[in-house]
C-alpha cells in the first residue's frame, strides 16, 4: 500500500490535502463540463499527484468524486497509450486498475467512459503538452476558450494569457496576420488566467459625449466607437451603447487611512434568531460617505451589527482602492420581527448589500429605480474586497451568495494573490454546493447582492445564531 512518507509531503496535512483535492476536483469539474474532452486530460505528472491526493484524502475519510476518479483513470490510460506509442508500438494498455484505486476499501464504481467499448484504445487528438509553470501558482495542463470581442487583435489575446501570438495562431490554425472575427473562440493554454471581459449596456444621459464616456469607463475612444459602430457622431439621450470592460485587480489606496472609531449608541439589542427574533431600540444605519443607503426606513440593526458593518466597509476601502459605490439595502425593521419577503432579517443582524459594479456602471438613478446590478456588471475584485473587509471584522457568521458567483469571487481573490489558506478559510467554493466550510456560502437566489449575517454581540443576551 503506497502510503510511504516519500509520496506524501503535506505540511499542515489536513488542510493541504483538502486544498490539493479541491484543485483536482476543480479540474475534474471543468473536464466534465467540457464534455470530458480528451484535450483536458492530465499529463502523467499530474495523474501521479492526483493519485497521491486521493490516497491522502482517503486517510482523512474524504472520498473523491466519481468524476475525479474517472478523470484520473482516463488520463492514466491516455498517458500509457502515449508512452506505448513512443515505445514503438508496444502498447501497454491493459485494463489496469490504477494503483490508487486498489488502496480503497469501497468507493464509487469506476466510471471509465473515455475508453471505447470492445477493448479499443483511446485516441489522442492532440498530445497534452507539459504546462509552463508560473512563478506564483501551479499551472495545470488545461485549455481555455477565449471569446473574441470587437477590435481585439491576436496580440491583445496573446498578451492577456501570457503567451506568444505565434502560439495562439498555431493552436488555432489561423493566419497570424488576418484580423480576428468578433464572437469567435480561440483555444489557448494560458500562463495567465485573467477574469473574462464583461459586456455592459449603458443608456446615454443628457450631457454624455463619446469622450466623457471614454473617461467614465476607462476605455479608449477608438475602442468605445468600435464597440458601437452605429453609434453616430454625436450621442442622443436614451441611446443604448455597449461597452466591453476588462476587470483588473484594484491596487491598495495611495494612503492607508486609519479606521475611524465607529461607536454608535450601545443599547440596540438583538433578540432571538434571525428567522424568529426581534430588535430592541433598533439603531438606524447612519448616513456615511462609505456607502449609499437604499431604504433607510428598513435599515435598523443591533448596535453590534451597525458598528461592524460600518467597520467592514471601511476596512474594504482602506485596503483596496475602489472608486465606486457600495449600496446597502435591507437590514431589519425598527423593531425587527417579520420582514417579508425575507425569511430572516428579523433580529437586526442580517444585511443585504448590492454587489459592487465595474467602473462607470453605477448611476445615481439606479437607487431610485432599484436597479440591482446585473451579473455582467459586477466587479468581482471589489466584491472580494468587500467580503474580505467584512470578514476582517471578526464578527461575521456567514455571507451568502449563489454558488456559481462564488466561483468568480474565488478566482478574483486568487488572481489578487490571496493565499490558498485564506481562500479556504473564507470561501466555501470549490467545496461542493452544500458542503460545510467557509464563511462565504451558497444560498439560492442571491445573485445581485450578498446577504451578510453578523454574530450576536456581547450584550445581546438571548440572541441565537
CB of 349 to Zn ion, least distance (A): 11
Point out which span in 42-50, 119-127, 189-197, 352-360 binds Zn ion (CB under 5 A): 352-360
Per-residue contact string for residues 215-244; x = within reach of Zn ion by CB under 5 A: ------------------------------
Point out which span in 191-199, 268-276, 349-357, 370-378 binds Zn ion (CB under 5 A): 349-357
Residue 450, classed as helix, strand or coil, is strand
Point out which span in 53-61, 117-125, 429-437, 444-452 binds Zn ion (CB under 5 A): 444-452
Query: C-alpha angle with apex 132: 127 to 133, nearest 5 degrees?
Result: 135
Please count the residues of this chain forming the interface with Zn ion, following the rule CB under 5 A.
2
- Residue bearing cell 485587480: 249
CB of 294 to Zn ion, least distance (A): 12
Q: Which residue is nearest to Zn ion (CB)?
A: 451
Query: Distance between CA 313 and CA 386 in Å, rounded?
Result: 7
Point out which span in 230-238, 317-325, 346-354, 387-395 binds Zn ion (CB under 5 A): 346-354
CB of 360 to Zn ion, least distance (A): 27
Query: Distance between CA 233 and CA 210 in Å, rounded?
Result: 9
Contact 140, 166 (CB under 8 A): no
Contact flag: residue 352 with Zn ion (CB under 5 A): yes
CB of 362 to Zn ion, least distance (A): 20
**Measured from the CB atom, is 80 or 451 closer to Zn ion?**
451
**Measured from the CB atom, is 219 or 386 closer to Zn ion?**
386
Please pick, from the candidates 294, 451, 453, 455, the single residue that binds Zn ion as defined by CB under 5 A: 451
Residue 442 sits at φ, ψ, to 5 deg, of: -70, 140
Q: 245 forms bridges with which residues in the sheet?
A: 198
Contact 378, 356 (CB under 8 A): yes
**Measured from the CB atom, is 308 or 451 closer to Zn ion?**
451
CB of 406 to Zn ion, least distance (A): 16
**Measured from the CB atom, is 366 or 451 closer to Zn ion?**
451
Q: 270 forms bridges with which residues in the sheet?
A: 279
The number of helix segments (H) and strand segments (E) in the chain equals 13, 14
Point out which span in 21-29, 41-49, 256-264, 347-355 binds Zn ion (CB under 5 A): 347-355
Contact flag: residue 408 with Zn ion (CB under 5 A): no
- Residue bearing cell 515505445: 87
Residue 370, classed as helix, strand or coil, is coil
Point out which span in 287-295, 314-322, 371-379, 449-457 binds Zn ion (CB under 5 A): 449-457
**Measured from the CB atom, is 20 or 352 closer to Zn ion?**
352
Is the C-alpha dihedral spanning 407, 409, 413, 416 positive or negative? positive
CB of 342 to Zn ion, least distance (A): 6
* Helices (H), ranges, 253-402: 303-319, 364-369, 380-391
Contact 373, 354 (CB under 8 A): yes
What DSSP state is assigned to residue 130?
P
Point out which span in 85-93, 208-216, 301-309, 447-455 binds Zn ion (CB under 5 A): 447-455
CB of 352 to Zn ion, least distance (A): 4
**Measured from the CB atom, is 265 or 343 closer to Zn ion?**
343
Contact flag: residue 293 with Zn ion (CB under 5 A): no
What DSSP state is assigned to residue 283?
E
Contact 224, 217 (CB under 8 A): yes
Q: What does the block give as the cell for 364?
A: 445615481
Query: Distance between CA 230 and CA 146 in Å, rounded?
Result: 25
**Measured from the CB atom, is 193 or 451 closer to Zn ion?**
451
- Strand pairing category for 300-301 and 283-284: antiparallel
Per-residue contact string for residues 50-79; x = within reach of Zn ion by CB under 5 A: ------------------------------
Helix, strand, coil percentages, rounded to 5, for the chain? 35, 15, 55
CB of 443 to Zn ion, least distance (A): 9
Residues that bind Zn ion (CB under 5 A): 352, 451
Amino acid at each position: 500500500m503506497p502510503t510511504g512518507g516519500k509520496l506524501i509531503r503535506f505540511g499542515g496535512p489536513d488542510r493541504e490535502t483538502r486544498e490539493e483535492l479541491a484543485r483536482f476536483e476543480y479540474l475534474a469539474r471543468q473536464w466534465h463540463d467540457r464534455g470530458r474532452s480528451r484535450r483536458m486530460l492530465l499529463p502523467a505528472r499530474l495523474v501521479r499527484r492526483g493519485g497521491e491526493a486521493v490516497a491522502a484524502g482517503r486517510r482523512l475519510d474524504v472520498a473523491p468524486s466519481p468524476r475525479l476518479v474517472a478523470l484520473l483513470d482516463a488520463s492514466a490510460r491516455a498517458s500509457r497509450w502515449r508512452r506505448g506509442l513512443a515505445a514503438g508500438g508496444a502498447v501497454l494498455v491493459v485494463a489496469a486498475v490504477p494503483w490508487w484505486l486498489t488502496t480503497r476499501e469501497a468507493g464509487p464504481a469506476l466510471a471509465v467512459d473515455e475508453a471505447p467499448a470492445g477493448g479499443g484504445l483511446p485516441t489522442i487528438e492532440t498530445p497534452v503538452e507539459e504546462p509552463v509553470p508560473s512563478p506564483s501558482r501551479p499551472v495545470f495542463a488545461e485549455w481555455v476558450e477565449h471569446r473574441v470581442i470587437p477590435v481585439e487583435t491576436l496580440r491583445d489575446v496573446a498578451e492577456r494569457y501570457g503567451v506568444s501570438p505565434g502560439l495562439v495562431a498555431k493552436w488555432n490554425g489561423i493566419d497570424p496576420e488576418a484580423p480576428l472575427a468578433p464572437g469567435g473562440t480561440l483555444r489557448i493554454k494560458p500562463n495567465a488566467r485573467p477574469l473574462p471581459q464583461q459586456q455592459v449596456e449603458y443608456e446615454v444621459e443628457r450631457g454624455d459625449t463619446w469622450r466623457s464616456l471614454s473617461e467614465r469607463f476607462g476605455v479608449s475612444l477608438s475602442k468605445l466607437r468600435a464597440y458601437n459602430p452605429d453609434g453616430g457622431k454625436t450621442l442622443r439621450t436614451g441611446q443604448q451603447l455597449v461597452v466591453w470592460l476588462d476587470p483588473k485587480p484594484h491596487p491598495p489606496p495611495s494612503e492607508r487611512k486609519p479606521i475611524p472609531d465607529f461607536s454608535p449608541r450601545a443599547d440596540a439589542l438583538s433578540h432571538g434568531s434571525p428567522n424568529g427574533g426581534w430588535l430592541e431600540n433598533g439603531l438606524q444605519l447612519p448616513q456615511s460617505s462609505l456607502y449609499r443607503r437604499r431604504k433607510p426606513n428598513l435599515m435598523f440593526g443591533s448596535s453590534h451589527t451597525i458598528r461592524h458593518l460600518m467597520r467592514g466597509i471601511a476596512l474594504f476601502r482602506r485596503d483596496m482602492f475602489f472608486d465606486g459605490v457600495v449600496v446597502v439595502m435591507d437590514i431589519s425593521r425598527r423593531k425587527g420581527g417579520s420582514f417579508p419577503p425575507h425569511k430572516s432579517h428579523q433580529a437586526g443582524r442580517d444585511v443585504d448589500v448590492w454587489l459592487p459594479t465595474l467602473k462607470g456602471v453605477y448611476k445615481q438613478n439606479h437607487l431610485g429605480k432599484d436597479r440591482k446590478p446585473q451579473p455582467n456588471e459586477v466587479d468581482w475584485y471589489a466584491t472580494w474586497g468587500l467580503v474580505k473587509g467584512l470578514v476582517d471584522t471578526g464578527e461575521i457568521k456567514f455571507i451568502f451568495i449563489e454558488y456559481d458567483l462564488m466561483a468568480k469571487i474565488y478566482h478574483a481573490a486568487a488572481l489578487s494573490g490571496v493565499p490558498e489558506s485564506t481562500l479556504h478559510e473564507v470561501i466555501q467554493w470549490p467545496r461542493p454546493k452544500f458542503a460545510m466550510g467557509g464563511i462565504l456560502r451558497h444560498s439560492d437566489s442571491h445573485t445581485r447582492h450578498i446577504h451578510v449575517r453578523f454574530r450576536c454581540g456581547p450584550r445581546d443576551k438571548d440572541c441565537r445564531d
